[in-house]
Chains A and B, each alone.
Chain A
């Protein structure tokens, strides 16, 4: 009888354990798959949210951690990406690959050839596509259109997606349009068309939408602001969106709103040079010269050679009637 009861108990425990394991591990696995899809669509805010929910998983915690590195890199948050990568306890081919992807995306494409040669033997098709995508992003960042174009050629071969074709999945075509936008970035009018197409093909492509909004600031600030505000709701922690939004509000003459946005950013990181510069320029626009100088001096302290900061300081000092000092800064700002 006792043995019979023990057996029943054991049977119950096994089922409870199976249930517990399912409860703990099945959702992260599903979240991970969804996160991969979101990353493929460049829907970074959703990918981040999903990955956060996988990180304590036994089965996919490591993978989700590495994908968080990728997500941060895709958002251009290099410091965060590197910090996440450093936290990785496991080593191996998968970690090495993510390390390389981060390196490439940050613009260091010096080892591109080595990786591309090795990839044939070491990596699966999906990973090669990941590698090519990181290389395209990095080459664009490094202003190396030749490398970007050749990687783009390989990418289209592997994915079968052609620039002018209507075939293929929308997310991949959206990515392609966004890269075309990246490659024509210096021709803002042309790039806007590509990014607009990328967003039309895949409305969840947040990185394309952010770039579209940034370019639109020069053309149509009201539309840019509308897009940035939606993005800011989706990715509350992404400083770059707030900074661009602040710039947009300044462009529209809404100085109070711009100031509030920048103040929040400066509270988070008081030494952020682009934010300090924007804050200084805002004060200049408001004709608050003392305040402008204070912000710009802080920026100068962080990056003494930053030409944009030096130019703004020169403008500020000139307006303050400190002509000699201004001339000195103008000289420093001249290449």
Chain B
């Protein structure tokens, strides 16, 4: 009995203790659901089918168009120069005055030996629009088969105000101006004053001095040559080689040319900005609604510039003050493409900028007197994430519903990126109102096959290539074919539109004009801004197309011409283009007339 007790007690103690220990060792109860107190419902726009597309809106029609051209950057030489990273652009112009938009694509260049003397150019291509999305290569016939510059950008302008659109090419050794002599191009002589050989990228033209002449802003990038060409290892490695980031080079001052009718004179020294910039994109429009053309510049790896035109050649750089120099964290971005538009029916010119990887694109909402508000997150653009290296871009109302949508192309600048893909998909964003706020919803996956193909997109131009009132797109890719995208939305959407072709007195430049279209008495007013430049290395259709949605009449149109005068037109028939000439009270149907450049 005693013996049994002596055994039982320790056993009982061990069992009880063991159970107690096991009880204490049980896992913790589930942590309180910290987020339960916070509503985590998804925003309604993402899954709302009404914001998505029912069918593709853009079709790649390149293969049947007769266009077969690609921008060359010379990367085959394996020199890994920063020169290779920029790519090329597209300029849309009616060079022959037949009323159909033609286009020029820049050709880029290549390398021989590793010396500056052996940096060569590739000729660009001028394609004549034969109608129905068929194009003919007329480069040689028109005198543009020259290849003496490693080229990037192309700008259409009518510098000599003869009504025929001229062509300005930018590139590693400066700029080249080609006068259009009734369909044949002739290189401007050195007397034009455009002899500065520093590396130039995008350009824009406007009557910046208010004297009826075509002045010029030319973006210039960095001070690179084979003598200033450091070896940069692959990202995050100590070996290998890749293209160097722009931070490795000094910025080159841009140029602000005043044109006196015969030659251009650089006035950059008079408008020193607050900070230096490595300029890649520029758009000229009236940003502060004072009737004068202002200049916004997208700078790579440096703060962006806004030059407000104070008249008589005075420009005040005030991007920081106006809230368009940096992002919401106060950091400058690697900015490339740029456009201006009224995305929120405010009647004001908001600014859109495509940026480098790990940065969001910037949407700066124009608030009027208070400058610009950072609107990226508030318009749903934060959802894009930072995996894009964005270039050519445009506000484009692809479905003519009267809301400015957005398109941009992407592609990396280094060969071996780590945080993003080398080839990247283009993006189409639809502007929709959600809970009283304009949001941009990504509809790329349903926009058409081309939007699913990753590439190195660079220049992008918007153009109505068949004059049907629905914007088409032309895109330049690095070392890949130029693509022509036909707008198919007209097949599925029954919206109306109004096309306007503005003509200034004596063919004066019109960037800086503002056009307002009144839909119904007291109801919606649509606003567009006549601009030069925009996108990246490119220039788009000079005409304005107003998507009207279901509205089938326009009550009135008001144009404020640059430098002040207001002019009004009464109701116009919709679904066609009209020519509105400065000082002429009559609007004239535009069908068959030459598309003037300004």
A residues with CB within 8 A of B? 8, 11-12, 15-16, 18-20, 22-23, 26-27, 30-31, 45, 49, 53, 184, 187-190, 192-193, 218-222, 229, 232-234, 236, 242, 250-257, 260-261, 264, 281, 284-287, 307-308, 311-312, 315, 318-321, 323, 326-327, 330, 333
Contact = CB atoms under 8 A, between A and B. Distances in A.
Contacts, number: 157
A19 B14 contact: yes
A229 B374 CA distance: 27
Interface of A, helix, strand, loop or mixed by DSSP: helix
Contacts of B379: 253
B321 A326 contact: yes
10 contacts: A15-B13, A45-B31, A187-B235, A219-B386, A236-B31, A254-B43, A260-B38, A260-B39, A308-B329, A319-B323
Contact of B5 (A8, A323, A327): A8
Interface of B, helix, strand, loop or mixed by DSSP: loop
Contacts of B357: 189, 219
Contacts of B382: 221, 250-253
A23 B34 contact: no
B320 interface: yes
A23 B21 contact: yes
B174 to A, nearest CB: 34
B21 A281 contact: no
Interface stretch (B157-165, B415-423, B523-531, B541-549): B415-423
A112 to B, nearest CB: 26
Interface string B251-271: 000000000000000000000
A257 B420 contact: no
A23 B24 contact: yes
B454 interface: no
A222 B236 contact: no
Interface stretch (B276-284, B363-371, B494-502): B363-371
B40 interface: yes
B227 interface: no
B16 interface: yes
For the complex of A and B, the 10 pairs showing the least CB-CB separation, nearest first, are A189-B419, A190-B236, A27-B24, A236-B34, A19-B13, A251-B382, A189-B418, A319-B370, A19-B17, A23-B20
B132 interface: no
A192 B5 contact: no
Contacts of A219: 357-358, 385-387, 419-420
Given A189-B358, A233-B31, A236-B31, A284 B5 contact: no
B214 to A, nearest CB: 33
Interface string B1-44: 00001100110011011001100110010011111011111010
Contacts of B21: 22-23, 26-27, 30
Given A16-B13, A193-B418, A218 B358 contact: yes
A16 to B, nearest CB: 6
A253 B33 contact: no
Contacts of A236: 31-32, 34
